Amino acid sequence: MLILCSVLFPIIAGVIASNVKTNTRARHIAYSLICAITDVLVILALSSKGSVTVVKFFENVSFSFAVDDLGVFFLIAVMLLFTAVLFYSFEYMKMEKNEERFFGFYFVTFGAMIAMCMAENPVTMYLCFELLTLLSVPLVLHDETKEAVTAGLKYLFYSIAGALMGLPAVYLVYRFAGAAADFTYGGFIDPSKLAGHEGVFLAFIFIGILGFGTKAGLYPMHGWLPTAHPAAPAPASALLSGIIAKAGVFAVIRLLFYSVGTEILRGTWVQNAFIILAMITIFMGSMTAFLEKNLKRRLAYSTISQISYILLGIAFLSDEGLEGGLIHVLSHASSKACLFLCAGVFIYKLGIRNVEDLRGIGKRMPVTLWCFTIASLSLIGIPPMGGFISKWVIGSAALDSGMGALSILAPVVLIVSAFITAGYLLPIVIDGFFPGKDYKAPAISEEPSKLMTIPMIVLCAASVIMGIWGVNIVNAIMKF
């Protein structure tokens, strides 16, 4: 019962609070209480380790929810980002129209993310995956400009196409399942049923990886990300990049590690192709970000690259690779969300959207630029930040994989990408703090309110915590 409450409460309460006619302060208090109660309900549901079946379609096909180690891990990221971004949004959304509509879809998206993380089997996950897409599209097209509507439709079409590509993989894992088809680490495929069908099975699993990877920006299905982020409000961009795009990562992990099983895929052409695509995406995303002048679009291309770090770790189909990927889930979620919130501050306070206009910003907004700096260092992979330890573990997994040239090439791509990341983030920091002798700083500080600065500081702290204790945190959660 707690599981269903944690899913349904933010959806129902968020919609009601957004439609009740009251003043802004009272509505913000209501939103804060809804978020706090949702977090408590999720924690209680995690503690109960229960399961619930809503409807049973066939003998081993049901719409049901349960709590396991992977779900716990992603739910921590979900709660962290949705809670931090909520308070930031109270201030930022003053510059936007239809604030009530934004928060209404904010909470239904929150509920959809919780539902997906608690899905007990592939069918439930797939339905929640589709629901998440439909409910988060309004966050992208919120401004209702031509650019926003185009971006929202592009996000919708890419996501639906990706989900349709994943559907045959979901069908086949049920077709070749054993007695039960609930998520199980190591998979639930019956080898005797699979015998003689391996070729078709591998082909559709690869298509499924591409399909679910669309949400995560995996090449060549990455086109929606750089279009959606500049058009969406900054809080929506933070959620899209920080956690919603990682729904694709979550689905790929569920498919490979908890449905098919790594033993069936290890050493096949599917694994080789997955590794190569992840490396191409990392390099392509980094280089395009380096060339981009619009700050939010630069961060969007950076997201394409950084999420593929996670996919690269997963692609080695090892416990170590999965561990590195999961560390990067939290470190990237906190640092990239922080960067988008900083970009939102520049837009909200000064109307700045392009990188070249940020010269001297550290003189005007030192706290904001320090948050931007710390988050940037994490993405680059500077110790003791979270991005360093995650890339170290992923690189170690690659070297230990015994996959010949790919074992060496993967760490090389990680290192080259780190240098490129430094090339498109550190100049912003340097020019921001050291604009030159000819720059004249304004006499007054232009920092935003605490509603905006505190969430950024919290996310920065999370990225540092992941760097120091990331391995311990992942191991503790995955033993849940």
> What is the pTM (predicted TM-score) of this model?
0.93
Each residue's pLDDT tens digit, 189-246: 988 898 888 899 999 999 999 999 999 989 888 888 888 878 889 999 999 999 999 9
DSSP assignment of 163-222: HHHHHHHHHHHHHTB-S--S--TT--B-HHHHTT-HHHHHHHHHHHHHHHHHHTT-TTS-
**Which residues share a beta bridge with 177?**
189
Over its C-alpha atoms, the chain yields an Rg (Å, rounded) of 21
Name residue 374's amino acid: I
CA–CA separation, 2 and 50 (whole Å): 8
Q: Single out the residue of 308, 286, 318, 142 nearest to residue 217, CA to CA.
A: 308
More confident residue, 11 or 3: 11
Q: Is the pLDDT of residue 438 over 80?
A: no
Q: How confident is the model at residue 443 (pLDDT cuts 50, 70, 90)?
A: low
Q: Is residue 311 part of a domain?
A: yes
CB of 201 within 8 A of CB of 194? Answer: yes
Instruction: Read off the pLDDT of each residue in 86-92 and give the average, rounded to a whole number.
Output: 94
Domain count across the chain: 1
Domain that holds residue 362: 266-480
What pLDDT score was predicted for residue 311? 95
What pLDDT score was predicted for residue 143? 83
Each residue's pLDDT tens digit, 282-295: 999 999 999 999 99
What pLDDT score was predicted for residue 411? 92
Q: Is residue 236 part of a domain?
A: no
Which of 87-101, 173-187, 299-313, 439-453 comes out lowest in average pLDDT? 439-453
Q: How confident is the model at residue 256 (pLDDT cuts 50, 70, 90)?
A: very high
Q: In 256-402, which residue ranges form alpha helices assigned H by DSSP?
A: 262-265, 269-291, 295-315, 319-345, 361-364, 366-380, 386-399
CA–CA separation, 151 and 141 (whole Å): 7
Q: Is residue 418 part of a domain?
A: yes
Q: Is residue 329 part of a domain?
A: yes
Each residue's pLDDT tens digit, 335-388: 999 999 999 999 988 888 899 888 888 888 899 999 999 999 999 988 888 888
Q: Is residue 45 part of a domain?
A: no
Q: Is the pLDDT of residue 480 over 60?
A: no
CA–CA separation, 120 and 111 (whole Å): 16
Q: Is the pLDDT of residue 445 over 90?
A: no
Q: Helix (H, G, I), strand (E, B), or coil: what is residue 319?
A: helix
What pLDDT score was predicted for residue 386? 83
User: Which of 134-164 are b and which e, b meaning 16 or more Cβ less than 10 Å from the residue's Cβ?
Assistant: ebbbbbbbbbeeeebeebbebbbebbeebbe
What pLDDT score was predicted for residue 425? 94
What pLDDT score was predicted for residue 479? 64
Structure tokens at 410: 């993967």
More confident residue, 386 or 161: 161
Q: Is residue 316 part of a domain?
A: yes
Q: Is residue 170 part of a domain?
A: no
CA–CA separation, 467 and 383 (whole Å): 7
Across the chain, what does the average pLDDT equal?
90
Q: Is residue 146 part of a domain?
A: no
What pLDDT score was predicted for residue 9? 94
